[in-house]
Amino acid sequence: MKLIFSVLVTLLSLPAWAGDFYVLDLNDAHMGNNTGDSVIELRQEMRRQYPQVRLQRMDLLSVMMVSKTRAGNGTARLKVGQDFSKPQKVDGRPGAFGSDDEKSYDRTLMINETGDSNGVWQVHLKGNFKIRQIVVELGDDDRPVRATLDYNDLHIQGGPLGGEQILALRQKAQQELGLNTQQYKIISATLVAKSRAGQGKASFKVGSAESPEQKIPGRPADFQNNSDWSYSTLDFSNPSVFSNGNDNGAWQIHLRGNIKVKEVILILEKK
C-alpha cells in the first residue's frame, strides 16, 4: 500500500469536497543544502509516476510532504506559477536522520491559495532534507477553493457600542494572494479571533446583506497569549444567499470590541 497510515489519517480529516490524491514516492531522497533552494518539480514527477493523469484539466489544491530535516531547521514552501506559499518549518534531529522509523518523519501540508494552477508546480526546500513521499491533491474547476487570509494577531480596539472596525476580505485576497475574486462566489468565512473579556462581536457582510452578530469568546488572562488554543473560530455562511442578494459587492467582517484576529478562512467557488 503506497499511502502510509499517518498520511491517510490526515487526508481523511480534510473536507468532503477535497480532491483526488496521488502519492509520489521519493524513496527517502536526500536533497537540499544551506546555501540555496532545492526544487522538486511536481508536474514532472506526476507525469513520470502517473502518466495517465491529464494534468492540463486539473487544479493543484494542496501538497502533503512526508519528510524530515537533519537539524530541524529546514523550510519548505509551495510555488504555483509565480506565487509562493509561506515557508513552513520541517522538523527533524541529527540522531533520527538516518532512521527508517515512520515516526521520525514530519508531515507538512501546503495549500495552493492562489485560485490558479497555471505555470510551474514546485516544492522549494531550504536545508538538509530526506523526503519519503509527497501526496498531491488535484481537483477540477468545480471544486471549492480555500483561501486563508493571515492577520498576524491584529489588535483591534473599539468600544462595545461603537468604534466598529472592518476587515476588507475581498481586497486582502486580491492584494496578498493574487486572487481574481471576480471569478469567484463566496460560500463562507471562518474568523479565528478572541476578545479581551469575551464581549467582542463580529458579523459577516457580503454586498448589502449582513449576518447576525456572533459573540467572540475570550478572557483577559489569555489575551496576550498568541498560542492557537487561545483563539476561537466563528463560522459565517454567505448572508446574501438567504436575502436574495448577490456577492458582487464587498466581502467584509465587521468587528466591535477589544479583539485580536489571527486569520480569516474563505471558502470560494468559481462562478
Domain 145-270 has CATH 3.30.1560: no
Mean pLDDT of the chain: 86
Residue 120: the pLDDT is 95
User: In 3-state terms, what secondary structure has residue 176?
Assistant: helix
Residue 128: the pLDDT is 92
Residue 106 scores a pLDDT above 80: yes
Residue 57: the pLDDT is 78
Residue 11: the pLDDT is 43
Is residue 32 within 8 Å of 129, Cβ to Cβ? Answer: yes
82: DSSP letter: T
pLDDT in tens, 152-198: 999 988 654 456 899 999 999 988 887 788 888 899 999 999 999 99
188: DSSP letter: E
Domain 5-139 has CATH 3.40.50: no
Is residue 117 within 8 Å of 60, Cβ to Cβ? Answer: yes
**Among 153, 152, 257, 154, CA closest to 196:** 257
Residue 10 scores a pLDDT above 90: no
Residue 256 scores a pLDDT above 80: yes
pTM, two decimal places: 0.57
CATH 2.60.120 in the chain, residues?
A: 5-139, 145-270
Is residue 188 within 8 Å of 235, Cβ to Cβ? Answer: yes
Which cell goes with 87? 515557508
CA–CA dist 221, 20 (Å, integer): 43
